[in-house]
């Protein structure tokens, strides 16, 4: 049993920023939980390219325009304005000052900005090609210095504690849904604890792992989204799953991200025969076309010509020394996979990368459920529209982590503290369950979900593919629900149950929306103005 002022589920940039902001009030106790063994492990850690800052010739309105243009008509202008205005100053305050992240600079101490797809200015700050890793190191060090923040690892959230759902109090049936914390599975003890909190923040990241090919780490299986959905939260824009154009396509190293910054520094996409092709699809932007356009162009080239990958050439655009200095991590990982990027082009394919939809929240990260907030990739602030602009996700985590914390602090100050007792919340009941989760079933079902999503709910969709996906996922959902109800709890089982649930959410949203837009492309849709079809 655990009681805390604020429970933050997830410890990437969004969760850590919220915790640091709340920790300024020494009266508050903040509990951050993560299912990972090492709290540095999160989606944030794998971010390579960087984070949007403010270049010399830049201004918030210019950045907001780029975000809106990339978002293909779905971006909320207000959310874009908030991000563009508040992001760069927060980057300085939280990352450079508090977390002491040292972004790359030139010899005279000026920031070394890079660019990525669909940016009209060079404005992306980076730490080599391991920006997320540097950020996580700084944030975790800063959190460890806060006496009123407890970071607990190897804790998997099972479900949110919501009234009236879990209440023993009959009067709660007449009240709006409110969240009072979560049931947490302790992976070491293999037991479930009740965590009660005045405010609960979902910062659990994305869902790339429901796809066969993804750049995301194993935790990205939609846990937060599934829990929020079961609790009654509103979900928006779930059809907009962004595919990164360039993941490494070498057996054994699939999914390793080849940062868009490689193209930002001059890299070009070529066919296996050596022909550049992006000018055919995006004459204005060429290799720096918005991500949805670049990913579909690669998919199209592969499908039309029967290629199993295309190539990304940086070797002929930069000196070997410059490549090794600018992209040490990519150089190293490709070298391990047998590719010398200073000499050879890199085989790449698109892979599921980022969830542009999520739990619908307001400009303070607040969901439709009382005391429940969602920040970072799991949330839908509206800023990413139908296609996220590169290197804005870390910035969104910072801005809405900070905003949610501000709103929570205000509401706790106004007496909105924890209003329930352990007596009101039933403890987890596993009595009668004796069977351990069979790993073969978990793995087999997970692979089935990933294959369905890849083939039928992937880069190119149609009513027929989506209907087939939904039928198969529904069948699987029933099987997995029975499996879940009759088996002792396990992290893999929790993830599987969540994965099938969010796969259905994405597939249903994709079937419902017949209009191709941004990263949702229906080959059976009529072309309409604003669509970017290839
Ligand atoms: C990349 O480095 O290409 C990824 C950046 C992002 O997803 O914003």
What string of DSSP letters covers 405-416?
A: HHHHHHHHHTT-
The pLDDT of residue 529:
42
496 CB-contact burial (10 Å; exposed 0-12 / middle 13-18 / buried 19+): buried
The owner of tokens 């509990």 is 31
How close is the Cα of 409 to the center of ligand 1, in Å? 32
Question: 30-33 and 178-186 as β-strands: parallel, antiparallel, unpaired?
Answer: unpaired
The pLDDT of residue 400:
98
The CB-side HSE value for 478 (13 A sphere, CA atoms) comes to 5
97 CB-contact burial (10 Å; exposed 0-12 / middle 13-18 / buried 19+): exposed
The owner of tokens 């965590």 is 195
**Ligand 1 binding site (Cβ under 6 Å of any ligand atom):** 48-49, 257, 259-261, 354, 390-391, 393
- Nearest-atom index, ligand 1, CA of 393: 8
Q: Give CA–CA dist 225/221, Å, rounded.
A: 9
Q: Which of 3.40.50.970, 3.40.630.10, 3.20.20.70, 3.50.50.60 would CATH assign to domain 2-239+356-424?
A: 3.50.50.60
In terms of Cα–Cα distance, which of 223, 177, 229 is closest to 15? 223
How close is the Cα of 68 to the center of ligand 1, in Å? 18
- Are the beta carbons of 392 and 119 closer than 8 angstroms? no
The pLDDT of residue 80:
98
- Nearest-atom index, ligand 1, CA of 258: 3
Q: Give CA–CA dist 168/354, Å, rounded.
A: 39
Q: Give CA–CA dist 519/238, Å, rounded.
A: 11
How close is the Cα of 416 to the center of ligand 1, in Å? 38
How close is the Cα of 392 to the center of ligand 1, in Å? 9
How close is the Cα of 390 to the center of ligand 1, in Å? 5
- Nearest-atom index, ligand 1, CA of 354: 7
Q: Which of 116, 129, 389 to probe ligand 1 with, by most ligand atoms within 8 A of CB? A: 116
Q: Where in the chain is the domain with CATH 3.90.700.10?
A: 244-353
In terms of Cα–Cα distance, which of 284, 280, 316, 286 is closest to 301? 280
In terms of Cα–Cα distance, which of 44, 89, 43, 102 is closest to 63? 89
Q: Which of 66, 256, 260, 394 to probe ligand 1 with, by most ligand atoms within 8 A of CB? A: 260
The pLDDT of residue 150:
98
3-state secondary structure of 174: helix
- Nearest-atom index, ligand 1, CA of 260: 3
CA 430 to chain centre: 32
Tokens, residue 459? 């880069």
Q: Which of 123, 221, 263, 291 is catalytic?
A: 291
Q: Give CA–CA dist 520/67, Å, rounded.
A: 17
How close is the Cα of 50 to the center of ligand 1, in Å? 7
Q: Which of 66, 327, 388, 391 to probe ligand 1 with, by most ligand atoms within 8 A of CB? A: 391
Residues in the chain: 534
- Are the beta carbons of 361 and 380 closer than 8 angstroms? yes
Q: Where in the chain is the domain with CATH 3.50.50.60?
A: 2-239+356-424
The owner of tokens 């200095």 is 325
How close is the Cα of 247 to the center of ligand 1, in Å? 11
In terms of Cα–Cα distance, which of 312, 336, 292 is closest to 247? 312
Q: Which of 66, 126, 216, 244 to probe ligand 1 with, by most ligand atoms within 8 A of CB? A: 244
Query: Taking the CB of residue 40, how many other CB atoms lie within 10 A of it?
Result: 20
Cite the DSSP H helix spans in 373-523.
Answer: 393-413, 439-456, 463-485, 491-512
- Nearest-atom index, ligand 1, CA of 116: 3
pLDDT tens column, 39-65: 999 999 999 999 999 988 999 999 999
Tokens, residue 405? 């914390």
- Nearest-atom index, ligand 1, CA of 391: 8
The pLDDT of residue 168:
65
- Are the beta carbons of 515 and 529 closer than 8 angstroms? no
Specify the fold of 244-353. Flavocytochrome C3; Chain A, domain 1 (3.90.700)
The pLDDT of residue 414:
86
Q: Residue with the nearest Cα to atom 1 of ligand 1? A: 259
Contacts of 133 (CB under 8 A, 6+ apart): 40, 45, 127
- Nearest-atom index, ligand 1, CA of 394: 8
- Identify the segments of the chain with pLDDT beneath 70: 1, 164-175, 416-418, 526-534
| Cis amide prior to 164 (ω within 30 degrees) | yes
Specify the fold of 439-488+490-512. Methane Monooxygenase Hydroxylase; Chain G, domain 1 (1.20.58)
3-state secondary structure of 184: strand
Contacts of 181 (CB under 8 A, 6+ apart): 4, 7, 160, 161, 194, 195, 196, 197, 200, 425
Q: Where in the chain is the domain with CATH 1.20.58.100?
A: 439-488+490-512
How close is the Cα of 168 to the center of ligand 1, in Å? 46
462 CB-contact burial (10 Å; exposed 0-12 / middle 13-18 / buried 19+): middle
Q: Give CA–CA dist 14/6, Å, rounded.
A: 14
Q: Which helix (H) or strand (E) holds 302?
A: helix 291-305
With residues binned 3-state (H G I as helix, E B as strand, rest as coil), the percentages for the chain, rounded to 5, are 40, 20, 45
Query: Is 175 labeled as catalytic in the residue annotation?
Result: no
């Amino acid at each position: 049993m655990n009681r805390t002022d604020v429970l933050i589920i997830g410890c990437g940039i969004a969760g850590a920023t919220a915790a640091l902001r709340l920790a300024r009030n020494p009266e508050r106790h903040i509990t951050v939980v993560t299912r990972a063994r090492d709290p540095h492990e999160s989606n944030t850690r794998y971010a390579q390219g960087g984070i949007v800052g403010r270049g010399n010739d830049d201004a918030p309105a210019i950045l907001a325009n780029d975000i809106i243009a990339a978002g293909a008509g779905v971006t909320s202008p207000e959310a874009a304005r908030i991000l563009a205005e508040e992001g760069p100053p927060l980057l300085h305050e939280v990352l450079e000052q508090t977390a002491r992240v040292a972004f790359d600079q030139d010899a005279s101490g000026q920031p070394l900005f890079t660019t990525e797809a669909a940016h009209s200015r060079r404005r992306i700050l980076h730490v080599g090609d391991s920006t997320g890793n540097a950020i996580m190191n700084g944030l975790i060090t800063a959190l460890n210095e806060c006496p009123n923040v407890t970071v607990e690892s190897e804790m998997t959230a099972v479900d949110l504690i919501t009234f009236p759902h879990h209440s023993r109090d009959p009067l709660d049936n007449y009240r709006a849904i409110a969240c009072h914390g979560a049931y947490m599975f302790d992976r070491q003890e293999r037991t479930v604890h009740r965590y009660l909190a005045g405010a609960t923040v979902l910062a659990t990241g994305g869902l790339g792992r429901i796809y066969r090919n993804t750049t995301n780490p194993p935790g990205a299986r939609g846990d937060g989204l599934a829990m929020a959905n079961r609790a009654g939260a509103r979900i928006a824009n779930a059809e907009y799953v962004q595919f990164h154009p360039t993941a490494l396509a070498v057996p054994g190293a699939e999914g390793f991200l080849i940062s868009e910054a490689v193209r930002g520094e001059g890299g070009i996409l070529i066919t296996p025969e050596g022909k550049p092709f992006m000018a055919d699809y995006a004459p204005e932007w060429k290799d720096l076309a918005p991500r949805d356009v670049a990913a579909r162009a690669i998919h199209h080239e592969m499908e039309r010509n029967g290629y199993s990958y295309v190539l990304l050439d940086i070797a002929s655009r930069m000196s070997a020394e410059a490549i090794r200095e600018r992209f040490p991590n990519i150089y190293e990982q490709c070298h391990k996979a047998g590719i010398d990027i200073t000499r050879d082009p890199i085989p790449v394919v698109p892979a599921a990368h980022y969830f542009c939809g999520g739990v619908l929240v307001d400009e303070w990260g607040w969901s439709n459920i009382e005391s429940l907030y969602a920040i970072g990739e799991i949330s839908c602030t509206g800023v990413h529209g139908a296609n996220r602009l590169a290197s804005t996700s870390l910035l969104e985590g910072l801005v809405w982590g900070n905003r949610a914390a501000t709103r929570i602090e205000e509401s706790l100050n106004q007496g909105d503290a924890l209003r329930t007792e352990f007596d009101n919340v039933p403890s987890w009941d596993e009595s009668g369950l004796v069977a351990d989760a069979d790993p073969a079933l978990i793995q087999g079902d997970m692979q089935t979900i990933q294959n369905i999503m890849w083939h039928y709910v992937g880069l190119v969709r149609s009513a027929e593919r989506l209907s087939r996906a939904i039928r198969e996922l529904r069948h699987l959902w029933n099987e997995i629900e029975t499996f879940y109800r009759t088996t002792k709890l396990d992290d893999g089982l929790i993830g599987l149950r969540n994965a099938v649930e969010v796969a259905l959410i994405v597939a249903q949203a994709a079937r419902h929306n017949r209009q191709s837009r941004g990263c949702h492309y229906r080959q059976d849709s009529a072309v309409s103005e604003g669509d970017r079809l290839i």
